[in-house]
Structure formats: structure tokens, C-alpha cells
Structure 1
Amino acid sequence: MSISDIYSSGKHKQELGHFASIVKIAQSDGIIATEELNLLQRAARKLHINEEEYESILKNPNKYPVNPPVNYDERIERLYRLTQMIFADNSVDPAQVVLLRKIAVALQFPLDNVEKVCDESLHLVMNNNDLDDYIIAIKKVNLE
């Protein structure tokens, strides 16, 4: 097995864990709305999740650990994608926000700053900030 195969499988495990986190947020209010389902399907394609993995994760997202990326910008991007899922159905459920904070801790955002980071994340996504502006803003909030 080559080093690229090892990296590839590790990267795919991260993608599976990230997709499972997105599914958890979509399911946190008890239903997956059509808008959320559309976002899940786009996320699955982007993360190279095949149909079998997709169905397995939808059935049991808790089976897949978060596996945060080492790269800080990638962790911020994961938070961005998770926050987008919260707004996919045009409503914010408090359970989704609580879950977002838990996943942010799993993504290695500092426990003492996770509430501030998630509140800023919600604000930025609600105001349609692009990923580049989002990353800059989250880095500022996370350093305060």
C-alpha cells in the first residue's frame, strides 16, 4: 500500500465523518426537509460519498466519528458547511445550534470560545458571507 493510498483512506474517513455531522444537524429537528436533502446530496457528491455510504450514514450518522482535519482553514470550512445546513430549511432550531456547538468542539475549536465562534458562524452564514470572508471573520473571533 502506497503512502497516497493511506492518505486517501484517511481523508475519506474525514469526509465520511464530516458528512455524518451534516446529517446529524439535518436530522436534529426530527425531519429532513427537501432543502436539507438537496444540500445533503450536493455535500455527498463534493465529499465523494458513494450511494452505499450515503444510505448507511443517513440510517446511522452516529456510527461515524468527526475526525477533524489537521489544517485550521479546513476545520473552519467544515464549520461553515455545517452552519449552512442549519439554514438550509430557512429555520433555525435550537437543537441544531446545540449540536453545532458540540461538533465545533469536536472540530477542535476551544471550549471556552466555542459559543462565540458558533454565534459568529451563524451570523455570517445568515448574512450570506462567502467562504473567504467567513474564514477571516472566524479567525478574528477565535483569537479574541
Structure 2
Amino acid sequence: MSIADFFDSGFKKRNEDHFAAIVRVAMSDDIITEEEKAFLDRLAHKLNISEAEYKQILKDYKTHPINPPTSYDKRLERLFDLARMVWADHIEGEKQIRMLIRLVVGLGFHSKNAKYITHKALDLVHEEVDLDTFMDEIKHMNR
């Protein structure tokens, strides 16, 4: 196995684990709504999750470890990606915002701040800011 293959397989595994963690959040109320399913479909595509892997993860999502990003910057990058997916596909609505709030908590943000962070993130992606601006604005929300 080459070094490139090793890193590719590690990246793939992280994407699968990340996807499984989001499925776990979506399943926290024991159902996946049509809106959540549509979001998961788009997310699976973005993370290069195959159809077979997708079905297996839906079936056995609890067998994947939960690996939230360990650094604050990595959490902000994932939040940026998730908020952009919600906004770009025009799926934003009350249900999607609730799901994004749950994902924010799943990323490791404090539940007391999740609603505020979610709304700020969506405001920033509506303004079409870049990642650096997004991260700076979220880090300094309380100025």
C-alpha cells in the first residue's frame, strides 16, 4: 500500500465516520424525515459515500465511532460546509434549522449556544462570505 493509498483510506474512513455521526443525529428522534433524507443524500454525495456504503451506514450507524473535530477551527470548517449545503440547496426552513442546530451540538458546540451559532452561520452563508471570514465572524460573534 502506498502512502497516498494510506491517506486516501484514512480520509475515506473519516468521511464515513462523519456521515455516520450525522445519521446518528438525524436518528436521535428515531425517524429520518424526507427533508433529512434529502440532506443525507446530498451529504453522502459530497463526502463520496457510495450507495452501498450509504445503505450500510444507515443500517449500522451506531457501529461507527463519533469523532467530532478536535480543534475549534475544524469544527468551524464543518459548520461552514453544513450551513452552505442547507443554504445552497434552498432547503432552509424550520425543520432544517432544527436539524442544523442538532448538528451544531453534534460538532461539539455547547447546546446553550447552538441556536445562536446556527443562525449566525446561516446569515454568513447568505452573505456568501469565504471560509476565513466565516471563521473570524463566528469566533468573534460577541464583540
Q: TM-score, normalised by structure 1?
A: 0.67
The residue number in structure 2 matching 1:32 is: 38
**d(CA) in 2 for partners of 1:61, 1:116:** 32
Partner of 2:88: 88
What code does the residue aligned with 1:76 have?
L
User: 1:131 is matched with which residue?
Assistant: 131
TM-score w.r.t. structure 2 length?
0.68
Residue 85 of structure 1: CA displacement? 2.0
Cα drift, residue 87 of structure 1: 1.8
CA-CA distance at 1:98 after TM superposition? 0.6
Matching of residue 97 in structure 1 with residue 100 in structure 2: no
- The letter of the residue matching 2:47 is A
Cα deviation for residue 56 of structure 1 reads 2.6
Q: Which amino acid aligns with 1:52?
A: A
1:32-82 deviation digits (Å, cap 9, x = unpaired): 28xx856642x223xxx455323433x458545642111111111111111
Change (3 A) 1:15 1:39: closer
Task: Say how many residue pairs are matched.
Answer: 128
Q: 1:88 to 1:72 in 2, by over 3 A?
A: same
**Distance (whole Å) between structure 1 residues aligned to residue 79 and residue 53 of structure 2:** 22
RMSD, aligned α-carbons: 3.3
Counterpart of 2:111? Answer: 111
Mapped to 2, the partners of 1:39 and 1:135 lie a distance apart of 21
Which consecutive unaligned segments of at least 5 residues does structure 2 have? 1-5, 27-31
User: 2:70 is paired with a residue of what secondary structure?
Assistant: coil
1:44 equivalenced with 2:47 (yes/no): yes
CA distance in 1, matches of 2:125, 2:15: 21
